[in-house]
């Protein structure tokens, strides 16, 4: 995840619609799904203009927009629905925090879709903007491809409450799906952390250290992404807007519980990773200490002995010991005694 995404509009008037993501050349793609208890009409690959006519008369129209680079087209769409320029600015400015804004006639919800790349151990994040009106839901994504196929399938098949409920239920289903996917992300991360715990005990190395650091970094950024979501869902649940119908709060309470669980998960991952880094440091210290003990034992045994044999390697003419026949074996005895005494001493100190 990127550390920080600059909102590129210093000094521009508020409401300026300027896309900050990657430049894409393919046109914006729109899919629509207009449905009621009885009917479903689905269209794909529409242009902005075509989608505006969709859904007249349907109970709920879901307009999903993939691609945000064609700001002129987006403005045509939003002006059709009388959406405030500040909303459009936030939609294309894809570095928003999760938020909920009540504009009276419609709610504007920003939520971040997360994915986890197990190879690079990086979390990626995409902004989903939802405009929830009295009989429509418009969702804006930066890149084609999402997790919403099960939602579409449920609407097509008409099972459960999906088709008999209003656009608030659709918005709920989208948010629920995204937060369910957070669990997948956390599940993958937890598997990585458990793997690192095992690796740390076996071979703590430089790469592992970098991996731990990298995951800690991701957790810091992930927390920043998910934290504001809690308030968004809590406010939805409190049903402050008439656009949220009474029966939905039971479901939103469920989503709120999941959000809290995700945040608690991230917090405990942060604690665990911080504990892992401490463990790494302690392990390195323990190992360094063992290495140093070996060095000290070997060196302190042999350094005095080497001195002794050096003494009798001197070429002084008058060294009486050199002439004594038992001096050589006696020296071996002395050296053995010195070495033995040292070994006993080290053993008592617990260094061996």
| Residues 220-249, interacting with its own copies (CB under 8 A) | 220-221, 223-224, 227-228
Contact positions with its own copies (CB under 8 A) in 57-96: 84, 86, 90, 96
Contact positions with its own copies (CB under 8 A) in 152-181: 154, 159-160, 162, 173, 176-177, 180-181
Q: Least distance (Å) from its own copies to the CB of residue 350?
A: 7
Contact positions with its own copies (CB under 8 A) in 268-287: 268-269, 271-272, 275, 277-287
Nearer to its own copies, 56 or 303 (CB): 303
Q: Is residue 145 within the footprint of its own copies (CB under 8 A)?
A: no
**Which residues, other chains included, contact 134 with Cβ-Cβ below 8 Å and sequence gap of 6+?**
105, 106, 167, 243
Beta carbons of 256 and 238 less than 8 angstroms apart: no
Please count the other Cβ atoms lying within 10 Å of the Cβ belonging to residue 343: 14
**Sheet of strand 60-66: strand arrangement:** 40-46, 29-35, 60-66, 136-141, 122-132, 107-117, 99-102
Nearer to its own copies, 56 or 206 (CB): 206
Q: Least distance (Å) from its own copies to the CB of residue 237?
A: 12
Site mask for its own copies (CB under 8 A), range 198-217, x = bound: ---x-x-xx--xx--x--xx
Classify 40 as helix, strand or coil: strand
Distance CA 18, CA 28 (A): 15
Nearer to its own copies, 47 or 224 (CB): 224
Q: Is residue 296 within the footprint of its own copies (CB under 8 A)?
A: yes
Please count the other Cβ atoms lying within 10 Å of the Cβ belonging to residue 177: 16
Beta carbons of 9 and 17 less than 8 angstroms apart: no
Q: Is residue 347 within the footprint of its own copies (CB under 8 A)?
A: no
Beta carbons of 160 and 141 less than 8 angstroms apart: no
Site mask for its own copies (CB under 8 A), range 19-58, x = bound: ----------------------------------------
Nearer to its own copies, 26 or 290 (CB): 290
Q: Based on C-alpha coordinates, what's the Rg of the chain?
A: 34
Q: Is residue 334 within the footprint of its own copies (CB under 8 A)?
A: no
**Among residues 3, 37, 198, 348, the one that binds its own copies under rule CB under 8 A:** 3
Beta carbons of 210 and 120 less than 8 angstroms apart: no
Nearer to its own copies, 200 or 243 (CB): 200
Tell me which stretch binds its own copies (CB under 8 A): 1-9, 30-38, 120-128, 135-143. Answer: 1-9
Q: Least distance (Å) from its own copies to the CB of residue 215?
A: 10
> With b meaning 16 or more CB within 10 Å and e meaning fewer, what string describes 267-306?
eebbebbeebeeebeeeeeeeeeeeeeeeebeeebeeebe
**Among residues 97, 122, 135, 338, the one that binds its own copies under rule CB under 8 A:** 97
**Among residues 23, 145, 323, 348, the one that binds its own copies under rule CB under 8 A:** 323
Distance CA 218, CA 212 (A): 10
Nearer to its own copies, 51 or 229 (CB): 229
107 φ, ψ (degrees, to nearest 5): -105, 145
**Among residues 164, 238, 311, 333, the one that binds its own copies under rule CB under 8 A:** 311
Q: Give the CA angle between residues 71, 143, 254 to the nearest 5°.
A: 110
């Amino acid at each position: 995840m990127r550390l920080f995404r600059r909102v590129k509009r210093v000094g521009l008037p508020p409401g300026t619609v300027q896309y900050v993501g990657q430049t894409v050349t393919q046109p914006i793609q729109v899919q629509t799904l207009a449905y009621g208890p009885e009917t479903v009409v689905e269209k794909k690959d529409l242009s902005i203009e075509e989608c505006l006519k969709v859904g007249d008369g349907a109970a709920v129209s879901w307009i999903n927009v993939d691609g945000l680079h064609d700001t002129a087209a987006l403005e045509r769409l939003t002006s059709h629905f009388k959406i405030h320029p500040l909303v459009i600015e936030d939609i294309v400015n894809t570095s928003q925090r999760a938020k909920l804004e009540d504009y009276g006639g419609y709610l504007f919800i920003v939520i971040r879709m997360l994915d986890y790349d197990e190879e690079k151990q990086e979390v990626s994040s995409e902004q989903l903007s939802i405009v929830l009106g009295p009989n429509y839901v418009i969702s804006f994504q930066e890149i084609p491809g999402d997790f919403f196929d099960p939602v579409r399938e449920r609407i097509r098949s008409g099972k459960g409450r999906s088709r008999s409920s209003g656009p608030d239920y659709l918005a709920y289903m989208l948010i629920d799906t995204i937060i369910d996917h957070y669990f997948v992300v956390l599940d993958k991360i937890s598997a990585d952390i458990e793997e690192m715990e095992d690796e740390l005990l076996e071979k703590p190395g430089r790469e592992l250290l970098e991996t731990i650091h990298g995951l800690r970094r991701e957790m810091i950024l992930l927390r920043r992404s998910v934290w504001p979501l809690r308030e968004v869902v809590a406010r939805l649940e409190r049903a402050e807007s008439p656009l949220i119908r009474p029966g939905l709060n039971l479901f939103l309470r469920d989503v709120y519980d999941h959000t809290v669980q995700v945040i608690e998960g991230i917090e405990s991952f942060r604690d665990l990773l911080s504990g892992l880094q401490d463990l790494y440091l302690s392990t390195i210290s323990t190992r360094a200490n063992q290495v140093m003990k070996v060095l000290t034992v070997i060196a302190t045994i042999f350094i005095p002995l080497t001195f002794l044999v050096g003494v009798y390697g001197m070429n002084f003419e008058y060294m009486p010991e050199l002439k004594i026949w038992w001096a050589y074996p006696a020296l071996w005895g002395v050296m053995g005694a010195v070495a033995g005494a040292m070994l006993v001493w080290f053993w008592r100190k617990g260094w061996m």
